[in-house]
Copies of this chain bind each other. A is one copy, B any other.
Amino acid sequence: MTDQLVAAAPLVCPAPHVGSDRVQLGHGSGGKLSVALLRERFLPHFANPALLRLGDGAVVPVGSSEIVVSTDTFVVSPLEFPGGNIGSLAVHGTVNDVAMMGARPLYLTAGFVLEEGLPFELLDRIVWSMGESAAAAGVSLVAGDTKVVERGKADGLFINTTGIGLLTRDFSPAPDRARPGDAIVFSGPIGRHGMAIMAVREGIAFETRIESDSASLLPLVDRLREALGPDVHVLRDPTRGGVASTLNEIAAASGVGIELEEAAIPVPSDVSAACEMLGLDPLYVANEGVLVALFPDSLTGAALASLRGHPMGAMAVRVGKVVAGHPGLVVLRTAIGGSRIVDQLPGDQLPRIC
Q: Are A27 and B109 in contact (CB under 8 A)?
A: no
Tell which of A159-167, A183-191, A262-270, A311-319 binds the partner.
Answer: A159-167
Closest chain B residue to A33, Cβ basis: B148
Question: A143 contacts the other chain (Cβ, under 8 Å)?
Answer: yes
Are A142 and B48 also in contact (CB < 8 A) when A107-B60, A111-B71, A160-B71 are?
yes
Question: At the interface, yes or no: A146 with Cβ under 8 Å from chain B?
Answer: yes
The answer to whether residues A28 and B111 also contact, given A106-B60, A141-B51, A143-B69 and a CB cut-off of 8 A, is no
Of A126-134, A208-216, A218-226, A326-334, the segment with at least 4 beta carbons within 8 Å of chain B is A126-134
Interface residue ranges of A21-41 to B (CB < 8 Å): 21-28, 34, 37-38, 41
* Stretch with Cβ within 8 A of B (4 or more), from A114-122, A199-207, A244-252, A292-300: A114-122
A155 at the binding interface (Cβ < 8 Å): yes
* Measured CA separation A124–B158 after assembly (Å): 23
Per-position 1/0 for A143-174, Cβ under 8 A of B: 11111111011110010101010100000000
Give Cα A64 to B65, complex, Å. Answer: 8
Determine if A178 is an interface residue (Cβ-Cβ < 8 Å): no
Interface size on A, residues (CB 8 A): 80
- Out of B23, B64, B72, name the residue touching A145 (CB < 8 Å): B72
Q: Do the beta carbons of B69 and A142 come within 8 Å of each other?
A: yes
Task: Name the residue on B nearest A45 (C-beta).
Answer: B131
Complex: how many Å from CA A120 to CA B41?
A: 8
Point out the residue from B37, B77, B154 that lies within 8 Å of A146, measured CB to CB.
Answer: B37
- Assembly stoichiometry (copies): 2
Q: Taking the complex as formed, is A62 at the interface, i.e. its CB lies under 8 A from any CB of chain B?
A: yes
Q: Does A50 contact B (CB under 8 A)?
A: yes
Let me know if A137 is at the binding interface, CB within 8 A: no
Looking at the assembled complex, report how far the CB atom of A58 sits from the nearest CB atom of chain B, in whole angstroms.
Answer: 4
A143 vs B59: C-alpha distance when bound (angstroms):
9
Q: A25-B116, A45-B128, A111-B162 are in contact. Are A38 and B146 (CB under 8 A)?
A: yes
State whether B51 touches A140 (Cβ < 8 A): yes
Cross-chain contact of A120 among B23, B75, B164 (Cβ < 8 A):
B23
Asked if residues B73 and A121 are in contact (CB atoms below 8 Å), the reply is no
* Complex: chain B residue closest to A50, CB-CB: B142
Let me know if A67 and B73 touch, CB within 8 A. no
Q: Are A57 and B148 in contact (CB under 8 A)?
A: no
**Given B46, B111, B131, which contacts A131 in the complex, CB threshold below 8 Å?**
B46
The reply to whether A160 and B73 form a contact with Cβ atoms under 8 Å apart is yes
**A352 lies within 8 A of chain B by Cβ:** yes
Which of the residues B46, B123, B131, B134 comes within 8 Å of A23, measured between beta carbons? B123
User: B127–A45 contact, CB under 8 A?
Assistant: yes
**24 A–B contacts, CB within 8 A, in A order:** A24-B148, A28-B146, A41-B123, A41-B124, A45-B127, A45-B130, A45-B132, A46-B131, A46-B144, A50-B143, A51-B140, A57-B143, A58-B142, A60-B107, A62-B65, A62-B166, A65-B65, A67-B164, A69-B109, A69-B143, A72-B145, A113-B158, A149-B155, A150-B351
Return the 4 tightest CB-CB contacts between A and B, nearest first: A28-B148, A63-B65, A45-B131, A71-B109
Known contacts A64-B64, A113-B158, then 19 further A-B pairs from the complex at CB < 8 Å, ordered by chain A residue: A21-B119, A22-B116, A26-B148, A28-B146, A28-B148, A34-B146, A42-B144, A45-B130, A45-B131, A50-B142, A50-B143, A58-B142, A62-B63, A65-B65, A75-B147, A113-B113, A147-B352, A160-B162, A162-B162
